[in-house]
Amino acid sequence: MSERSDQAKALFREGFNCAQSVVAAYADLYGYTPEQALRMSAAFGGGIGRMRMTCGAACGLFMLAGLEKGATEGANSQAKADTYTTVQELAAEFKRRNGSLICAELLGLKKPEGSPIPEERTPAYYAKRPCIDMVEEACKIWEAYHVKKAENQE
């Protein structure tokens, strides 16, 4: 699956946000086209709509958990609990590896930027942002989750 991580990083370098990069790299596994994946995850970049809340890469990771495990019947409380358990485990691992789930903290911002306008993607942008590393970590966490899941099924 490391090809997926490389694909996610390439998508980020093309200008897609963190969430889009993560979700689009795996979308075909869940029956989604690249365009559908990019659209469904578009609002989650920049810490959800560039509000610098939950990291977009983490949001993408959680969206993958929903695509894989999410309840498809409203009354299925067990499926909801299974999804939430998975998301909480993934979130804990993301936080353990990166120190936070919060975009502003990961970027070292004292306060949110307050603008919905994304910065231009320049070499300086990439040099000062850990975002591509967060995208890669989200992919590594997703891949490790699948390895652990396969080991538990043996």
Q: How far is CA 70 from the centre of its chain?
A: 16
Q: What is the pLDDT of residue 1?
A: 52
Q: What is the pLDDT of residue 110?
A: 80
- Domain extent at residue 128: 2-153
Q: What is the pLDDT of residue 112?
A: 66
Q: What is the pLDDT of residue 133?
A: 96
Q: What is the pLDDT of residue 115?
A: 81
CA distance 89 to 121: 32
Q: What is the pLDDT of residue 152?
A: 84
Q: What is the mean pLDDT of residues 44-50?
A: 95
Q: What is the dihedral of CA 144, 142, 153, 75, to 10 degrees?
A: 150
Q: What is the pLDDT of residue 130?
A: 95
Work out the pLDDT band at 38, boundaries 50, 70, 90: very high
Q: What is the pLDDT of residue 111?
A: 73
Query: Among the listed ranges 49-58, 71-80, 101-110, 116-125, which one has the minimum average pLDDT value?
Result: 116-125
Count of other CB atoms within 10 angstroms of residue 125: 12
Query: What's the count of helices (H) and strands (E) in the chain, helices before strands?
Result: 8, 0
Q: What pLDDT, in 10s, does the model give residues 75-116?
A: 999 999 999 999 999 999 999 999 999 999 999 988 767 788
Tally of domains in the chain:
1
